[in-house]
Amino acid sequence: MVTVQESEYWRWPESIWVDESKNWQDAEVISCGIDLGSVSTQAVVMLDGELYAYANMRTGTSSAASAEKAVNAMLEKIGDMKRDDIHYIVGTGYGRVSIPFAQKTITEIACHGRGAVYVYGDKVRTVLDMGGQDLKAIKVDSRGKVINFLMNDKCAAGTGRGIEVVCDLLSIPITEAGQLSLQVDEEPEPVSTTCVVFAKSEILGLIRKGWGKERILAAFFNAVASRVVELLERVGVEPEFAITGGISKNIGVVKRIEDKLGLKALEPKYDPQLAGAIGAALFGRALYIKSKK
């Protein structure tokens, strides 16, 4: 049998962080949010509604174990905090129903809306969450409450997984793809579709035609951006807009969305991939206070 070496170009780095300047024992409410996504899992701890620690890891095959792993990694980094010290845990994301230790679950749509206000400030009105499986365009008020939202139809797979597949196809590490795609003199025509399957066959055609990787990526991201803008325009985009989720780290996609909208996305104060977990933790705090009343 022939074995073929598989490189993992789609892999992006995991990270764990703690705000060393804070002492968690001083906090009145310690809340935790876990965003168990299809691709990545984030856990955050907030002290009285301020970000204190997080872990950002890849989702494994078992939801419960992935949540467990992220929380433990984070607690380990904090050092002396135990899970029991947390007052309230809220789960969100795809796998939210299978986080055994979460007291409550809330959808990632509500959490991203809420979290976006924390990450980007209360001016933000349109939140675009670009994750592994879904695209979501969310309109929020100044508190981060969802007014309206739209998710991509199934047939518009311009999602994180799609990007992973294409990076794999081109053998380009996903973290570099965005930057690379900007190194073209002239923006090529978008590939005609963002459906992963169609796009792949088109990209194979481009490879055959001898297109450079930069140009192919540019054409692909251009298409992804078109699809996203279409979704945004369907909910009605307002100038103060922000991008959350993993793809917000892909400058190649972000820049093209901005160009198409003629708007600049807000600058995040924290890692935007955390928005969902942050939102969950903030809801956790509110729920805890509510339960004490």
Partner 1 sequence: MPVAGIDVGSKLTKVVIMGENKKVLSYVVMRTGTDHKKTSEEAFEEALKKAGVAREDIKKIVATGFGKISAPFADEELTQIMAAGKGAYYVRPTTRTVIEVGAEESRAVKLDENGNVKDFALADKCAAGAGSFVDAMIRYLEVTPEEFGQLALQATRAIPMNAQCVVFAESEVVSLLHSNVPKAEISRAIHDAIADRVAAIARRLDIQDDVLLIGGLAYDIGFIDSMKRELGREVYVPEEYPPEVIPAIGAALSAL
Partner 2 sequence: MGKNVDDLAQLKQFKEWFDNRHEYAKKWKKKTGGKVVGYYCTYVPEEILYAAGVLPVRILGSHEPESITRPYLHDMYCPFCHDTLAQGLEGRYDYLDGVTLAQSCLHMRQSYFSFVDRVPNIEWDYYLPFPHGVTNPYAADFAKHEFENFKAAVEDWLGVTITDRDLDRAIEVYNKNRELMTKVFEMRKADNPPITGLHAMYMVVSSQVVDKAEHNEVLEGFVEELQDVENDREIGTRLMLIGSEDYDKELFELIEYGMNYPATFVFEENCTGARYFWGLVENGDDRLMALAKRYVYRVPCPAKDWARGDFFGRRRFQFIEEVIKDYNVDAVIIAQMKFCDPHELDIPALREMLDNMGVTHLHLELDLTQPVGQFRTRVEAMIEAMGEEDLFI
Partner 3 sequence: MEVKVRPFDCWDDFKNYRIEYYKNYLEAKDKGGIRWAGSAWSFDPVPAGLGEDVYPLTGEPYGATAAFFREFSVRALETIERKGAARDLCGYMRNYWGSVAMDKYLLADGTEIEPFPKPDFNFTIHICCTHAKWYHYAAELEGGVPTYAVDISVGPGYQLDDKKIEYVVRQLEDAVTWMEKVTGREYDDELLIKAVENEAKSMTLWSKICKLNQAVPAPMEEKSMFSFYVMTLLRRSDEKVVKLYEKLYDEVESRVKRGIGALTHEQFRFVTDNPPPWPFLKVYRYLEQTYGAVSVGSIYTFGLGASWIGMDEKGENWIWEPAPTPEEAGYEIHDRRSALWWTAMFNLKYRASWQHEYSHWIRKQETLQMVKDWKADAIIMHLNRGCELWNMSTLEVRDYLVKNNVPVATYEGNMADPREFDEARTFNVIDSFMQSLGIEKLA
Ligand X SMILES: Nc1ncnc2c1ncn2[C@@H]1O[C@H](COP(=O)(O)OP(=O)(O)O)[C@@H](O)[C@H]1O
Which of 112, 170, 176, 168 minimizes the C-alpha distance to 144?
Answer: 112
286 in contact with partner 2 (CB under 8 A): yes
Does position 98 bind ligand X by CB under 6 A?
no
- In whole angstroms, the minimum distance from the beta carbon of 161 to ligand SF4 comes to 11
CA-CA distance, 198 to 224, in Å (whole number)?
13
CB of 195 to ligand SF4, least distance (A): 3
Residues 108, 276: contact at Cβ < 8 Å? yes
Which among 71-79, 103-111, 202-210, 283-291 is the span making contact with partner 3, rule CB under 8 A? 202-210
Q: Which of 23, 148, 183, 201 binds partner 3 (CB under 8 A)?
A: 201
Backbone φ and ψ for 2, nearest 5 degrees, come out as: -95, 130
Q: What are phi and psi of 170, to 5 degrees?
A: -95, 0
Number of H helices, E strands in the chain: 8, 10
Which partner from the list partner 3, partner 1, ligand X, none does 202 bind, CB cut-off 5 to 8 Å by kind?
partner 3
The sign of the dihedral angle between the CA atoms of 258, 261, 262, 267 is: negative
As measured in angstroms, the least distance from the Cβ of 96 to ligand X is: 11
Please give the residue ranges that form the binding site for ligand SF4 (CB under 6 A): 155, 157, 195, 197-198
* Contact status, residue 120 vs residue 140, Cβ threshold 8 Å: no
67 near partner 2, rule: CB under 8 A = no
φ, ψ for residue 72 (rounded to 5)?
-60, -40
Could you say which of partner 3, ligand X, partner 2, none residue 230 binds, taking C-beta under 5 to 8 angstroms by partner kind? partner 3
Backbone torsions φ then ψ of 163, nearest 5 degrees: -65, -40
Nearer to partner 1, 121 or 212 (CB): 212
The answer to whether 292 contacts partner 2 (rule: CB under 8 A) is no
Identify whether the C-beta of residue 200 lies closer than 8 Å to the C-beta of residue 166: yes
Residues that bind partner 3 (CB under 8 A): 155, 192-193, 198, 201-202, 204-205, 208, 226, 230, 233-234
Residues that bind ligand X (CB under 6 A): 1, 12, 37-40, 93, 131-133, 160-161, 163-164, 174-175, 245-247, 249-250, 273
